Amino acid sequence: MTGGDIGSPVPVAVVGPTAVGKSDLALDLAEALDGEIVNIDAMQQYRGMDIGTAKLAVGQRRGITHHQIDVLDVTEIATVARYQAAATHDIEELLSAGRTPVIVGGSMLYIQGLLDDWKFPATDPQVRARYEEMLAQIGVAALHRRLAEVDPAAAESILDTDGRRIVRALEVVELTGEPFAASAPTIGEARWGTRIVALDRETADLDERIAARTAEMFANGLVDEVAALAEGGLREGRTARRAIGYAQTLAALDGEYDLDRAVELTVIGTRRYVRRQRSWFRRDHRIAWFDAAATDLTDGVLATLDR
């Protein structure tokens, strides 16, 4: 697969809902296209957040270099702007070296920020501080309802547990006088001519995979992982602590409910997130969709990329 110049590589993005099977396809494509992986999962940026993010261990990466994994401490704030700058550098370095960047993950705003070169609205520390104080006083659910009153579309796209993004949306609405989405780029030609493929499965199949993967995470030591990260500041991390699975485990460790309830809430939270991912990605006309359960998946994707 080449770009406009003969022999020049073109990035491939593998997106889709959580637990659908993106990582295996991305590795297959990287092997076939002489590429390297560029992670675009927000929470896989965090060092030590391994089990709960389904991060591939080094021994599972087939010797393929991975970028934008393990680049943040759990006390640091993950932002689309930081990721955009860092991943852009990685991708352009790979392209200059004649390697194919294979971008993989399901973090919706990160994908749009990277592939559509999102220019982020300015921030105002005083306005943001006011909404952060409001968040502390009335709680995330009430602040989400306030967002729904002034910008229903933003409230629909932002989880009602994501206080940081709710605050940012309210800040942008106040500063610009426009809906939060108005600052987003228009979907057009993806940067670098990136080819975007998405995986999905039948809902019942994916629901089963989510339940099985969640059970496996807890069985394989997620509670110990979270407890260790808590010692390193996870509770103080404004973005890391809210990751699905980690937030529920922290609550269980703090005695809010038992571990069985943490597992149940993690499954529920993941399924809700999947619905948002599907809705988001289905709006992008550039995406070629594939059945993740297909036996000839990799060959089918490669055939499409060669067209």
Q: Which helix (H) or strand (E) holds 211?
A: helix 203-219
Ligand-binding site membership of 176 (annotated) = no
**Does the annotation flag 113 for ligand binding?**
no
Residue whose token pair is 């200059």: 96
Asked if residue 35 belongs to a known ligand binding site, the reply is no
Degrees to nearest 5, angle at CA 273 with 149 and 233: 95
- Residue 125, marked binder: no
Antiparallel, parallel or unpaired: β 195-200 and 288-291? parallel
Instruction: Return the closest-CA partner of residue 134 out of 146, 121, 149.
Output: 146
Q: Determine whether the annotation assigns residue 119 to a binding site.
A: no
Return the closest-CA partner of residue 94 out of 32, 38, 160: 38
Indicate the length of the chain as a whole number: 307
The answer to whether the annotation marks 18 as part of a ligand binding site is yes
Picking from 200, 192, 199, 5, the residue whose alpha carbon sits closest to that of residue 101 is 192
Angle at alpha carbon of residue 294, lines to 53 and 157, rounded to 5°: 45
| CA–CA gap between residue 264 and residue 217 (Å, rounded) | 13
**Distance (Å, whole) CA 78 – CA 23:** 21
22 is in an annotated binding site: yes
Q: Say if residue 181 carries a ligand binding annotation.
A: no
What residues contact 217, with CB distance under 8 A and at least 6 apart?
51, 52, 54, 245, 266
Dump the DSSP string for 141-207: HHHHHHHHHH-HHHHHHS-TT-HHHHHHHHHHHHHHSS-GGGGSPPP-SPGGG-EEEEEE--HHHHH
| Number of Cβ atoms within 10 Å of the Cβ of 125 | 9
Indicate the annotated binding residues for ATP: 16-23
Enumerate the known binding-site residues.
16-23
Binding residues for substrate: 18-23
